Amino acid sequence: MIIKEKVIKYGHNVDTDVIIPARYLNTTDEKELASHCFEDLDQAFAEKLKKAKIVVAGTNFGCGSSREHAPLAIKASGVRLVVASSFARIFFRNAINIGLPLVQSSEASQETEEGDVLEVDLSGGSIKNVTRDKVYSISPLPDFIQGVIQSGGYIPYIKGQMKK
Amino acid sequence: MPQNNSQTIAQKILAAHCGRDYVSEGEIVNAGLDIVLGNDITMPLAIQEFKKIGAEKVFDSERVVIVPDHFTPNKDIKSAQQSQLVREFASAFHIKNYFEVGKMGIEHALLPEQGLVGAGDLIIGADSHTCTYGALGAASTGVGSTDLAVAMATGKLWFRVPSSIKFVYEGKPQPWITGKDLILHTIGMIGVDGALYQSMEFRGPVIGQLSMDSRFTMSNMAIEAGGKFGIIEADKVTEQYLSQRAQRPYRVYKSDADASYDQVYRIDCSKIGLQVATPHLPSNAKPAEKLSHIGIDQVVIGSCTNGRMEDLAVSASILKGQKVKEGLRVIVIPATQEIYLEAMQKGYLKTFVEAGCVVSTPTCGPCLGGHMGILAEGEKALSTTNRNFVGRMGHPKSEVYLCGPAVAAASAVTGHIAIPQEVMDDY
């Protein structure tokens, strides 16, 4: 799958409290969660989202709480992909489990600015910064995790396994 | 298997739970679980996913533990609806260890207290501070709701076998130092992603002398350095604790002497003063005495990090006969009903109320900006909790400073960040 979109750029240690503040965790409604996504980090996020659908950030993206509401809010807001230098481990699991694509690349993260256009080939393993004419390779995920992604998330994957 | 087949405690516990003698760092294993935990925030999503799997029962109705502790006693209609959903699930699936308000405590204080977790266990919980049980020599970690759903249905989950970092605590700790100061110092040293995906192993003579309560505090905050586990090998202190509580047999695992570590840190505790982490990262650890210029609006003493007996005892010893500074709000939250009762019997609650603190029923409440002490714009809180991210305790323009019980109680008297020596004549 190829994703080609403009970029919204954030810094290091974007935590789950700013992705979706706990005051909104009294619901599991994805649309409601999405309407508060990144609210405490960037009040202009909803406006930026009209033109940009890839979030690029620095190290330790998604650190903090285990709330799956965080990747759910990002996915339901319309963001198609998150690129970061590194991901916190619970966020990483949660995003894979619910089918929000993540790509880890320090180089791409450092050299990409807000408004740049990225073209990411999730199966081919590369990120192209169209604006700056640069290409970065992505190291492949373990086979098991690729299997989960190909199934469309952990629940469909497990259902498939249970049938075997 | 490599020539040297020595393993860390993390490897040994994971190996034992997938029926093997040896697992390699970095490999992905599917392992059986001893305890699976959910709360009122993470269970509603997990129930949705559990239903999608189509499972007719949970893998073991005694090993799924549900603790509604975050927005309880319910703060609003929506959270009451969520708790109702969780309550109905617990009833329908005959969950033995469901803790209703009245029995409920903050989950990571409650499970060890109730003897539900033990040494050598492999535990997952849909709460990031599930790493707390590492203090008992368990491999225990936080996951999200989908993982919880799969774990409830199958009793198994995938793990990437982590590499480990060893932290050796030596030297004679200064007065008033507790586990919170050691772990804030450690996170300050390695950063909020300093142990990303890794197992943190806390050891050395200082850990040997540390109370169980302080050990829980240290393991609890492993996640604040990105850690997967925060393990302390079981010793006499652990065995004494477990002998009075454990509901199941447990097994003590120890890292091999020649196991490999990514890093080894030796920490001289005689040089660590009382610590405060300034906004907005737990890694911003600084000596408390250098922050006496910071005035505060609220103090919180409680949470899964510091709401145990030792924390209340330390706080009460400082607040005894003292008064809360005029204009300051001080909220004390014993973490469980058992702790609440013991603190009452020992006179600590009387001390707190006479000093001008409010004492709350167990709840995660203010720690995550849920309820029971939300901050307004521009306000500053000093708190024994675990996170000081932007907006964590309320308004996005409020601030949270993290500390242990001694600094929290002393500051309750002065109204600014203080150490006990500032308010006590004969400490």
Confidence of residue B206 (pLDDT cuts 50, 70, 90): very high
Q: For B79, which of A26, A64, A68 is closest by C-beta distance?
A: A26
Residues B338 and B245 in one domain: no
Structural domain harbouring B358: 275-422
Mean pLDDT, range B215-243, rounded to an integer: 98
Which of B160, B186, B208 marks a domain boundary? B160
Mean pLDDT, range B294-299, rounded to an integer: 98
Give the 3-state DSSP-derived string for chain B, with helices as H, strands as E and coil as C. CCCCCCCCHHHHHHHHCCCCCCCCCCCEEEEECCEEEEECCCHHHHHHHHHHHCCCCCCCCCCEEEECCCCCCCCCHHHHHHHHHHHHHHHHCCCCEECCCCCCCCHHHHHHHCCCCCCCCEEEECCHHHHHHHHHCCEEEECCHHHHHHHHHHCEEEEECCCEEEEEEECCCCCCCCHHHHHHHHHHHHCCCCCCCCEEEEECHHHHHCCHHHHHHHHHHHHHHCCCEEECCCCHHHHHHHHHHCCCCCCCCCCCCCCCCCEEEEEEHHHCCCEEECCCCCCCEEEHHHHCCCECCEEEECHHHHCCHHHHHHHHHHHCCCCCCCCCEEEECCCCHHHHHHHHHCCHHHHHHHHCCEECCCCCHHHHCCCCCCECCCCEEEECCCCCCCCCCECCCCEEEEECHHHHHHHHHHCECCCHHHCCCCC
Q: Provide the domain count of chain B.
A: 3
Indicate whether B3 belongs to any domain: no
Mean pLDDT, range B27-41, rounded to an integer: 97
Residues B252 and B340 in one domain: no
Amino acid at B392: R
pLDDT value for B258: 96
Q: How confident is the prediction for chain B on average, in pLDDT?
A: 97
Cβ of B144 within 8 Å of Cβ of A63? The answer is no
Question: For residue B1, is pLDDT > 50?
Answer: no
Residues B363 and B280 in one domain: yes
Question: For residue A70, is pLDDT > 70?
Answer: yes
Q: Which chain B residues are within 8 Å of A162, Cβ to Cβ?
A: 53, 154
**DSSP, res A15:** B
pLDDT in tens, A77-124: 999 999 999 999 999 999 999 999 999 999 999 999 999 999 998 887
For residue B221, the chain A residue with the least C-alpha distance is: A64
Which of B231, B254, B271 marks a domain boundary? B271
Residues B70 and B44 in one domain: yes
pLDDT in tens, B88-131: 999 999 999 999 999 999 999 999 999 999 999 999 999 999 99
Question: For residue B427, is pLDDT > 70?
Answer: no
pLDDT: is A145 or B184 the higher one?
B184
- Chosen for mutation from B50, B56, B72, B193 (greatest number of chain A CBs closer than 10 Å) is B193
Q: Which chain B residues are within 8 Å of A26, Cβ to Cβ?
A: 71, 75-76, 78-79, 82
Mean pLDDT, range B390-412, rounded to an integer: 98
Mean pLDDT, range A8-18, rounded to an integer: 98
Residues B393 and B312 in one domain: yes
pLDDT value for A139: 82
| Residue position matching structure tokens 């936080």 | B142
Question: For residue B370, is pLDDT > 70?
Answer: yes
Mean pLDDT, range B329-345, rounded to an integer: 98
Question: For residue A71, is pLDDT > 50?
Answer: yes
Whether the CB of A89 is below 8 Å from some CB of chain B: the reply is yes
CATH number, position B84 = 3.30.499.10
Question: For residue B367, is pLDDT > 50?
Answer: yes
Residues B79 and B169 in one domain: no
Question: For residue B68, is pLDDT > 60?
Answer: yes
Mean pLDDT, range B74-90, rounded to an integer: 98
Whether the CB of A30 is below 8 Å from some CB of chain B: the reply is no
B57 DSSP β-pair partners: none
Confidence of residue A62 (pLDDT cuts 50, 70, 90): very high
Residues B190 and B150 in one domain: no
Please report the domains of chain A, with CATH numbers, ordered by start residue: 2-163 (3.20.19.10)
Indicate whether B2 belongs to any domain: no
For residue B149, the chain A residue with the least C-alpha distance is: A155
Mean pLDDT, range B266-294, rounded to an integer: 98
Which of B248, B271, B294 marks a domain boundary? B271
CB atoms within 10 A of CB B307: 32
Residues B176 and B151 in one domain: no
Cβ of B147 within 8 Å of Cβ of A69? The answer is no
Cβ of A25 within 8 Å of Cβ of B147? The answer is no
pLDDT value for A152: 87
pLDDT value for B2: 52
pLDDT value for B3: 54
Residue B280 preceded by cis peptide, ω within 30: yes
Question: For residue A142, is pLDDT > 90?
Answer: no
pLDDT: is B12 or A163 the higher one?
B12
Question: For residue A162, is pLDDT > 60?
Answer: yes
Residues B110 and B212 in one domain: no
Q: Which chain B residues are within 8 Å of A98, Cβ to Cβ?
A: 146
Cβ of A88 within 8 Å of Cβ of B196? The answer is yes
